Amino acid sequence: MFGTMIETPRAALTAGEISKESEFFSFGTNDLTQMAFGFSRDDAENKFLRSY
């Protein structure tokens, strides 16, 4: 069985192409979210989560 980890926005956007060679996906939501929004955990905790 061959799968792939989707951890970047580019990989998410090209998942259709990747699926031709892969039997399953695993989504790395931490890295994917950080890259999509441009925030690290430290940024989130120190800059805007305190407001909530």
pLDDT in tens, the chain (52 residues): 899 999 999 999 999 999 999 999 999 888 888 888 887 777 766 766 666 6
Handedness of CA 32, 37, 40, 46 (dihedral sign): negative
User: What residues contact residue 12 under an 8 Å CB cut-off, 6+ apart?
Assistant: 6, 27, 32
Question: Total domain count for the chain?
Answer: 1
Pull the structure tokens for residue 30: 């931490």
Residue 22: which of 2, 36, 50 has the closest Cα? 2
Predicted pLDDT of residue 52: 64
Per the structure, the complete domain to which residue 33 belongs is given by 3-51
Q: Which amino acid is at 9?
A: P
Residue 26 CA to residue 12 CA, distance in Å, equals 11
